[in-house]
Amino acid sequence: MTVKRITFLQELLAFMGLGERLHLEWISSAEAQKFVAVVTEFTEKIRRLGPNPLGRYTRPAPVDAWRAAAGFGIDRRQNVGGIR
């Protein structure tokens, strides 16, 4: 089931222009060297791919949109009620 979900997500991310940004690797807790190698390789791959190409399409957070609509404005220094 995990492989099926990862495959679906990889296809979805590729459709969105975020291909190759999801990786699944089976690693035992006894394989510390393999874990280090996989994480290092994937980190380098993400660095080569560069920043999120969808970053320019960011939207305000729902709380910020509500505060702006209610006339409170947006003050990023406040964290009212622990919601961000």
Task: Quote the pLDDT of residue 35.
Answer: 96
CB 38 within 8 A of CB 27: yes
In a domain, 44, yes or no: yes
Instruction: Please report whether residue 80 resides in a domain.
Output: no
Question: Which domain covers residue 48, as residue numbers?
Answer: 2-74
List, for residues 11-50, the tens digit of each pLDDT value: 998 888 888 898 999 999 999 999 999 999 999 999 998 8
Judge whether 63 lies within some domain: yes
CA distance 36 to 34: 5
Q: What is the pTM of this model?
A: 0.58
Residue 62 lies in a domain: yes
**Two structure tokens written together for 20:** 């190759």
How many Cα atoms are found within 13 Å in the side-chain-facing hemisphere of 30? 0
Residue 81 lies in a domain: no
Locus of tokens 């495959």: 7
- Our count of domains for the chain comes to 1
